[in-house]
Chains A and B, each alone.
Chain A
């Protein structure tokens, strides 16, 4: 009689690369005051539009050059990462908790709970998300917490839809019935049996949502609706860079690259984690 086989795979390169970038960016943002070579707010008109270090006219200590007010671009990107990560974690986690909980309940219990929750999701999805966000921030007032609330309030439906569908297919499985026969209650089964099955998707979506939150925050600060102080954010740096694209391309290009790398890393990291968490894919 053949016996069970067990297999384990190491970390995939995808997980390494994406995780590596995220850890690097997160560490830089966390220790920004220690790491940033310059004060991100210090203006110096003598140093305006310095090019990055490999071009003629670069100044040492200003690795990625300066913007039109003579502020160090690298330092601004590092400090901008703080807001990006705060928004990413806070907004994505809130959206995830609300959306996954409602999705799990709708999918597992079905019936009127499902009809009620699904109807709300339908109504929610009728609004174009970016417009919805701008509207919400306009109502709530600009500021870090409004941005976080706006993203959570809009994006919980992403979690809700996916988790509902998965919970629903799990609820039909025979193991759920066996648990009923063994005397487990509905809520117990939902948490103990169904939740572990949807967890890989929750994790993947959570990571993806962090990337989305970074973009939304950038869009909001691009249109000047995010953090109203002078603190640099990736979106506001991009907005400034756009104005001086012909004189100093780097002010636009570096924040864009940073943004794209971060968003991509979040989504790839999520997919990689899902594969790790899923006992079948692993």
Chain B
């Protein structure tokens, strides 16, 4: 059985010629949650955007392949690619504020997609959406459908977006830091919901985060990204038990423990960072673009 998502040595350039992604390879098996961790600016969002086909125009992919359920994206023409991405994937975005259209009611905003992607009748789509809103624990889905986004709280909006992502039964969901814009109590609830729906629907998730605590809770596999390069990948349990790369070890050490939040808290070690910089520089030197 082919992987749900497979990225093979993907590299991308910024307009200033700098590499944002450095031969990134990762795979997500059907029904599996893979966490993608790394600090801010590591290129996590870039990877998600690349595979969903919404990279900014200025960012150029210079090598690599992306396969969704065994289909190589770059081999498809633009229309077929859009259709494939639309049908098999969905995004749970980071900021629930701008991810909903403020001028349209929730109902039409959500049902539209189902009608478009699955060719369903409006009625059927409507029923499906109400069922999903129920799954994300809205007491009165009917009412939510009639609301404008500003009439919902941040947490409610994020629940709407989770429902929307699962509604068309995609095989893969990219969740790009879906809880960072929310306060801590709501974060837990949202994480639990995502985990629950993921299990019930058997959806694979590429879960982008910079929080190792979240990684431990939700994922079976982890890829650690630093400066656009995957420095380590492993089973989640194995990664926490025996981190291989010094950067991973430093990250784990830098994560506050709930039992003893302050004692173990220390920034990533200077020598580790220096080592990383050297590693990246060496990799860049060794690397030759395929059509250079």
Cβ–Cβ < 8 Å partners of B116 in chain A = 182-184
Q: How far is the CB of B205 from chain A (nearest CB, A)?
A: 15
Interface string of A264-282 (1 = CB under 8 A from B): 0000000000000011100
Check B85 against A181 for contact (C-beta < 8 Å): yes
B-side interface residues, number (CB < 8 Å): 41
Interface string of A166-197 (1 = CB under 8 A from B): 00000001110110111110000000110011
Check B113 against A182 for contact (C-beta < 8 Å): yes
Interface size class of A (residues with CB under 8 A): 20 to 34
With A and B bound together, what is the CA distance between A181 and B55 in angstroms?
A: 11
Check B101 against A175 for contact (C-beta < 8 Å): yes
Check B99 against A175 for contact (C-beta < 8 Å): yes
With A and B bound together, what is the CA distance between A193 and B90 in angstroms?
A: 18
Check B90 against A181 for contact (C-beta < 8 Å): yes
Check A180 against B54 for contact (C-beta < 8 Å): yes
Check A3 against B138 for contact (C-beta < 8 Å): yes
Complex: chain B residue closest to A2, CB-CB: B153
Check A4 against B156 for contact (C-beta < 8 Å): yes
With A and B bound together, what is the CA distance between A183 and B82 in angstroms?
A: 5
Check A199 against B103 for contact (C-beta < 8 Å): yes
Which of A2, A4, A278 has the most chain B CB within a 10 Å cutoff?
Answer: A4
Interface string of A1-33 (1 = CB under 8 A from B): 111111100000000000000000000000000
23 contacts between A and B (CB under 8 A): A2-B156, A3-B139, A3-B144, A4-B151, A173-B99, A174-B98, A175-B98, A175-B99, A178-B93, A181-B53, A181-B54, A181-B90, A181-B91, A182-B113, A183-B83, A183-B116, A183-B117, A184-B116, A193-B104, A197-B101, A197-B102, A197-B103, A280-B150
Using a CB–CB cutoff of 8 Å, the interface residues on chain A facing chain B are 1-7, 111, 173-175, 177-178, 180-184, 192-193, 196-197, 199, 278-280
By Cβ-Cβ distance, the 6 closest A-B pairs, closest first, are A183-B86, A196-B103, A174-B99, A279-B148, A173-B98, A4-B147
Q: With contacts A1-B137, A181-B85 known, what are 9 further pairs, Cβ within 8 A? A: A3-B139, A175-B99, A175-B100, A178-B91, A181-B89, A182-B116, A182-B117, A183-B85, A279-B103
Using a CB–CB cutoff of 8 Å, the interface residues on chain B facing chain A are 52-54, 57, 82-83, 85-87, 89-91, 93-95, 98-104, 109, 112-113, 116-117, 137-140, 143-144, 146-148, 150-153, 156
